[in-house]
Amino acid sequence: MRAVIQRVTSSRVEVEDKIIGEINTGYCVLLGVTHSDTEKDAEWIVNKIIGLRIFEDEEGKLNRSLTDVGGSILLVSQFTLYGDCRKGRRPSFVKAARPEIANELYGKCCSLFKDKGITVQTGEFQAYMKVSINNDGPVTLIIDSPGEVQVNEG
C-alpha cells in the first residue's frame, strides 16, 4: 500500500462539478493499493499516518500529530501511484490492485481512520475527480506499507 500524505490548510474533491469531500487543516492522503496488500497493510498505514508528527509546535518544530491539532483527512483512492514509468512513455499499471480489491482496502482504511476518531472525507472510487490541495509548508511524504518496503541487505 502506498500513501502520499500532504499537510494541508484545505483540500477538496469534486466529481461532475460537485464538491463531494472537503476538509480544512489536516492531510490530503492519496492512497494506492497493490496486489499483495492485505488488511494488515491497511492497519499499518492508518496507524503510521495518524502517528506522524508533521505539524509545527510552539517552537516551529515538526512535533505535533493530526490528533494534536484536531485535523481531518481527505482520503482519495489513486491507482496511478503504482504507475511504472521506467519503460516507454506510457505508464504501466500492472502493479495496481484490481478495482474490487483496491476498493475493499480503501474502504477498510476509511473505516479504521473513523474508528480512531479521525474525521474523514473521501473521493469517489473509480470516478474522474478534481482534487484541490492547498499544501501547507509544503509538507509532502510518501509512505509504503512494509510489504512494499525493499530492504537492501549486505
Q: Is 80 a known active-site residue?
A: yes
pLDDT, one tens digit per residue, over 79-125 is 999 999 999 999 999 999 999 999 999 999 999 999 999 999 999 99
154 assigned to some structural domain: no
| Cβ atoms < 10 Å from Cβ of 77 | 25
Q: From the candidates 6, 34, 78, 121, give the one annotated as an active-site residue.
A: 78
- What is the value of pTM for the model shown? 0.92
The residue among 152, 148, 117 whose CA lies nearest residue 42 is 148
55 assigned to some structural domain: yes
Structure confidence at residue 150 (pLDDT) = 45
Contact 111, 47 (CB under 8 A): no
Q: For residue 138, is the peptide bond before it cis, meaning its omega torsion is within 30 degrees of 0?
A: yes
CATH (domain of 29): 3.50.80.10
153: confidence class by pLDDT, cuts 50, 70, 90? very low
99 lies in which domain range? 2-148
pLDDT, one tens digit per residue, over 52-69 is 999 999 999 999 999 999
The residue among 139, 141, 138, 133 whose CA lies nearest residue 28 is 133
Q: Quick check: 140 pLDDT over 90?
A: yes
Contact 50, 111 (CB under 8 A): no
Structure confidence at residue 147 (pLDDT) = 73
pLDDT, one tens digit per residue, over 22-46 is 999 999 999 999 999 999 999 999 9
153 assigned to some structural domain: no
Q: Is 126 a known active-site residue?
A: no
65 assigned to some structural domain: yes
- DSSP letters, 93-146, are -TTBPPHHHHHHHHHHHHHHHHHTT-EEEE--TTS--EEEEEEEEEEEEEEE-G
49 assigned to some structural domain: yes
Q: From the candidates 6, 34, 55, 79, give the one annotated as an active-site residue.
A: 79
Structural domains in the chain (count)? 1
Q: Is 78 a known active-site residue?
A: yes
